[in-house]
Structure 1
Amino acid sequence: MKQVSEIMGKHGAKSVLYKVVAGDGAGRYDLQNWYSSMEEGANSFQSYGADPDYQAIMHKRSIDPVGELNGPWIGRMIHGAPKGIKPVVVHRDYHAPRKAIAKALELAPELDGLMSEIDVEMGMGVSLLNDNHEMLRVVYRFNSMTHWGQSVDKMITDERFVNLVNEAHEVGTLQSSRMLALKS
């Protein structure tokens, strides 16, 4: 996976490999590519797909698969695109009909403000090409595992945050969550 990520990076992807260390899918690896536009992503996809090194890895994998390969699924950030790669990321996936997205976006600036007080980046994303088009993902990005622990301690005792979470649960229903740690 690390080699695949490096090849993708040579073709314009901001590619990063995480391991899911807790929650939904714990134990699996998650390869993420980020692009500034869909066009950039499409061009990169075509370019690395034609790369002989990428093709060789995919051929070897088809002969001797050592794990299950899922995806890609394509999403788009609707609030708070990543400013950089963070070593610890938490995804909280909500079932939210598309009509609920506008309300979620109304809540985003308040959540963003609360998170900035504890140096946590946050974002929201939705599916573009996936099997679940009623998923709203809230992404929290932390500076370290210790920072995650300190931040969660503050979040769960902050009445403003608790009230905002309760309001968000009227927009969507939490379906799953997971923590990802950067693989170096």
Structure 2
Amino acid sequence: MSYVSIREVTPYRGKDMIIEERLKQVSEIMGKHGAKSVLYKVVAGDGAGRYDLQNWYSSMEEGANSFQSYGADPDYQAIMHKRSIDPVGELNGPWIGRMIHGAPKGIKPVVVHRDYHAPRKAIAKALELAPELDGLMSEIDVEMGMGVSLLNDNHEMLRVVYRFNSMTHWGQSVDKMITDERFVNLVNEAHEVGTLQSSRMLALKS
């Protein structure tokens, strides 16, 4: 099982560079306290322009211990104090999700999210489709996974995640995916499980 804590940060106008630098510092601190911490920027689709700070853990106990540990770090506290007196963006989160299929094997430079509204009773059907989709994606060297909310304001979100080796690899893969009848049929089946509500592309920043 794999868990992720996500902070979504939208910079105020003209504050992108400042907020990116602060988030990189925070990510580095979190990494020293047991988190596999990574910073992405949403470069296309829903939420374009925001930053996603993701902390990955193998268990909730590991995540809870890390949260307490970096929260007590003086360097982390100093950045939080700076944020309180000089805010440069809007923070949403952290919210916590868990991967139900396809935990990440490593950090990929380009990631695509497709978020579906799917009642919990539909998750079993989604998991039935996952191995076939995984197999198709492996043919073009794309990692895929599925995640659901654990602590969030939306507990009927099913997130399908695609992980690419580069922006060029993403473009090449999409060209193949949209012309592959097997993939198109799987997508149509997925729409019977849930309704696609949003999608986005994220590019690695740290």
Identify whether the pair has TM-score above 0.5, normalized to the shorter chain.
Answer: yes
Deviations 1:81-107 (A, max 9, x none): 000000000000000000000000000
Segments of 5+ residues of structure 1 without an aligned counterpart are none
Q: Secondary structure at the match of 1:174?
A: strand
Distance (Å, rounded) in 2 between the aligned partners of 1:20 and 1:5 = 17
- TM-score, normalised to structure 2, is 0.89
How many residue pairs match? The answer is 184
Map Cα deviations across residues 145-184 of structure 1 (whole Å, 9 max, x no partner). 0000000000000000000000010000000000000014
Q: What is the distance in 2 between the residues matched to 1:100 and 1:38?
A: 24
Deviations 1:115-156 (A, max 9, x none): 000000000000000000000000000000000000000000
Cα distance in structure 2, aligned partners of 1:94 and 1:68: 24
Provide the rounded CA distance (Å) in 2 between the counterparts of 1:138 and 1:29. 19
TM-score, normalised on structure 1? 0.99
Residues 1-184 of structure 1: pairs in structure 2 closer than 5 A: 1-184=23-206
Gaps of 5+ in 2: 1-22
Aligned mates of 1:174, 1:7 — CA distance in 2: 35
* Cα distance in 2, alignment partners of residues 39 and 100 from structure 1: 28
1:26-45 per-residue CA deviation (whole Å, 9 max, x = no partner) reads: 00111001001111011101
Q: CA deviation at 1:69?
A: 1.2
Distance 1:58 1:124 in 2: 32
